[in-house]
Structure formats: C-alpha cells, structure tokens
Amino acid sequence: MSHSATLSDYRTALTTPGARLPVLASALARLPVAMIGLALLLYVQRATGSFATAGLTSAAALIGVSVGSVLQGRVMDRMGPTRPLCAMAGLTLLFVASEVWAIETHQPEWLVITLAFGIGLTEMTVGSASRSLWVRLVPPGPVRQAAYAYEAISMEVFFILGPGLAGLMTALPWPGTGLVAGSLAMVVGGLAFALTPTVRAWRPSRDELRPTSLLGALSSPGMRTVALAALGFGVTIGFVEVAVPAFATEAGAPTMGGLMLSLWSISSVIFGVLYGVRPWPRAMHLRLPVLLGGFALLILLLALPSTLFGLAMALLAVGILITPQSTAHSAAIELVAPAGTTTEAFGWVITSVTLGLAIGQSTSGQLVQNFGTSWSFLAAAGAGLVIAALVWALRGTVKQSTLTTAALVKVEEKLG
C-alpha cells in the first residue's frame, strides 16, 4: 500500500478533468497559510516589544486553527465544502479587523490573544477540502499518491514564500500589512475554490452520511498514531519558528527572520519531489517515526551556529525532512481513517500540527526570552525525539490498519 509516484503521475493528476480551477484557487487560498501566523507574531512583537506576548498570541491563533479545522472538516464531510467555506470567509474578515483594532488601540493582552484564537478558529480550511477532493477526482494508486505529494510540496512552496512575505511586509511603515494582505488572499482564494463547478458538485457519499462516533476519525487507533506523529512535527517546527526570528533580532537584522525561515523550505521542496518518487522507509508504520526522529536529530544543527550565515546553512540541511513528513501524513490517512471521514481526518492532521506549533511557539517564546535561542533549538530536538519514540512504540496500530486496508482492496478487486 506504499505507492511511489513518477513525474508523469504528477502531470496526470494536475491535468485531470475538473482539477485545474480548484488547484489554482486553492493555491491562492493556501499561500498565506505560513504567512498569517508569523505576520501576527511579528506584528504583535513590533507593537509590544515582547517575544513572549507575541508567541502567546500566535499560539492562540494556532490553537484556534486546531479546533476549527476538525469542526469544519466534519461539516464538509456531511454537506460538502462550499457553504462552510463561504460562511468562514465573512467570520475571518470580522476577526482580523477586530484584531487590528485591538492591537492599534493597545487593548489588554487577553483581548488580543482571544481575538487571535478567533482568527485561527475561522481560518478557511481549504487544505483539507483540497486534499479530500483528489479522492473524488482520481482512483487509488500512484496518481493519487502524486496528488498527495503535490499537496505537500505546494504547501512547502507556500512556506518558502509565506515567511519571507510576512517579514518584508512587517518591515513596511505599517507592520500589520502582512496580516491583512494574507487574510484577504486566503478569503479570495477560498471563495474562488468553494465556488468552482467541481467543488459545488461535491456530494457526500453514503459512507460520509453514515453516523459516526463522537471521536469521528480518531476512533481509529492508527489515526491517533498519525495524529501523534503530526503533533511531533508541529512541536519541533514551532520551537524553530520563534527561535529563528529571535536569533536574527539578536544578530541586529530583525527583518531577516522571515526570510531565514524560508530557507529550510527550499531544500524541503527539492528533496520532497525526489522523495515522492522513491519514499523510504517503504512501510508506513516505520516511515512515520523514522522521519520524525531524523528531523529532530537534524534540528540539533541549529544550536551550533553563531552567525546568520551559519544558521542559514543549517536550516537548508534541516529542511530536507519537512515535505517527506507532510507527504507521509497525507498518504497514511488513506490507510488508517475510518470510511467517510477523509476531510475530517486531514483536519485532525492539521489540528495536530497546529496544536504542536502552538505548544512549540509558546514554550520557545519563554525559552528565548529567559535563556536564549540555543536552548530553544535543543528543546525542539528533545521534544521531537520523545514523540518519535512514542510513535515507534505505537507503530503496530498503523501496520494493522495498513493490513486491513490491503485486504479490503483485494476484496473490491475480486468483486469489481
């Protein structure tokens, strides 16, 4: 069940009838995914002068995303994406406008943090819908795996552009430019995606309308293990996303923080394309803990440099294992998620990653403020290794789900 994809499979997926307009619209909607949180963090830091407050505000937004992505995913599985995404568009604009007012008028910290949670809660989860759309557009096999790899690789492209744009816009005369511009791009792209003919024709399947348990997708033990792996991925990145801008500020180049974070996404995209052609380890139950553990070990490199150039080189090295993890999470969903919960399942992956980001960012802000950036990088590596060990201990749940899925596919092949 671990298909590899060729370059021609990528082309086939992206030229599938009905895919082009949603792909283009979702690209615009997801461009600010890595931009909004960082833009908010840098905006608050510029307004308050505190990385600790900025970290808590950004963490609140990420916690909001972690809740909203699951709720939106569950609703989309029941009624399709169009109506939920349109509703979220208006709420997102309302919360962003309120947050700007609160920051500009120096409202209490608790209000700024609460509104940040609202921004995250209503953030349009186009990524979940886009990923689930491929189940309806292409059959199981290498082409669908290529589509999932495209989703992960495109996200990394946005992670290249997002932090850089956030850093540049924060340096403009008004530091809130990045937050507003990113939110507008998300709303415009999200509405365009929701209103494409392919997405509007989305009708829930019989499995998706079937009653599910309160846990939904998480009722599967294998899905819970995938969510844990995604949590570890988010925690490690969250530490780094605060420590790198702080390192740049200490080096006397505060505007370089966002640009520095873009560097590890460059190597991530390049290596991600190659990894999609020949993924390793082949077995998914081994791939999840090995990739997370390897990523955590590479993060130790970030604690060594004393200059921005040295940190840049380390970030390029660390980035090679980012996209492989995102691709593995998407591919694993097909193996472990209960029938009829694909959008919600991907929402749980987003929830796990963003919750991890929130934990990492908030903890990193305190470490940076009190002990320095090196301690934050070391803590990121330590947290990643601990969670990788837990995923390794639970790897049997993913293996069992994989065997069950393989058996079902054989039954379907015999019947069809």
pLDDT digits (tens, 9 = 90+) for 387-415: 999 999 999 998 876 655 544 444 334 43
> How many alpha carbons lie under 13 Å from residue 243 in its C-beta half-sphere?
30
What pLDDT sits at residue 278?
77
Of all residues in the chain, the percent with pLDDT exceeding 70 is 90
Residue 228 carries which DSSP code?
H
- Residues 69/352, Cβ–Cβ less than 8 Å: no
Does pLDDT of 159 surpass 70? no
What pLDDT sits at residue 50?
78
Residue 85 carries which DSSP code?
H
Does pLDDT of 112 surpass 90? yes
- Residues 146/10, Cβ–Cβ less than 8 Å: yes
What pLDDT sits at residue 160?
64
The C-alpha atoms of residue 148 and residue 10 are separated, in whole angstroms, by 9
Identify the residue with better confidence: 233 or 168: 233
- Residues 268/320, Cβ–Cβ less than 8 Å: yes
CA atoms 225, 227, 233, 239: torsion sign: negative
User: Residues 75-91: pLDDT tens digits?
Assistant: 888 888 999 999 999 99
What pLDDT sits at residue 348?
86
Q: How confident is the model at residue 217 (pLDDT cuts 50, 70, 90)?
A: confident
The C-alpha atoms of residue 303 and residue 19 are separated, in whole angstroms, by 43
Summary mean pLDDT of the chain? 85
- As a whole number, mean pLDDT of residues 258-278 equals 78
Does pLDDT of 353 surpass 50? yes
Long-range contacts of 266-269 (CB under 8 A, 24+ apart): 266/160, 266/316, 266/319, 267/316, 267/317, 267/318, 267/319, 267/320, 268/156, 268/159, 268/319, 268/320, 268/321, 268/322, 268/323, 269/153, 269/156, 269/157, 269/160, 269/323
- As a whole number, mean pLDDT of residues 245-262 equals 82
What pLDDT sits at residue 402?
61
What pLDDT sits at residue 416?
43
- Closest-CA residue to 296 (of 253, 237, 243): 237
Element at 31 (helix H, strand E): none
- As a whole number, mean pLDDT of residues 7-18 equals 85
Identify the residue with better confidence: 249 or 156: 249
- As a whole number, mean pLDDT of residues 60-73 equals 86
The C-alpha atoms of residue 372 and residue 365 are separated, in whole angstroms, by 10
- As a whole number, mean pLDDT of residues 309-324 equals 91
Does pLDDT of 117 surpass 90? yes
Give exposure, 84-99, as e/b (b: 16+ Cβ within 10 Å): bbeebbebbbebbebb
Does pLDDT of 168 surpass 90? no
Residue 301 carries which DSSP code?
G
- As a whole number, mean pLDDT of residues 165-170 equals 78
Of all residues in the chain, the percent with pLDDT exceeding 90 is 38
The C-alpha atoms of residue 194 and residue 81 are separated, in whole angstroms, by 6
Identify the residue with better confidence: 160 or 149: 149
pTM of the model: 0.75
Does pLDDT of 318 surpass 80? yes
Count of beta carbons in the 10 Å neighbourhood of residue 339: 12
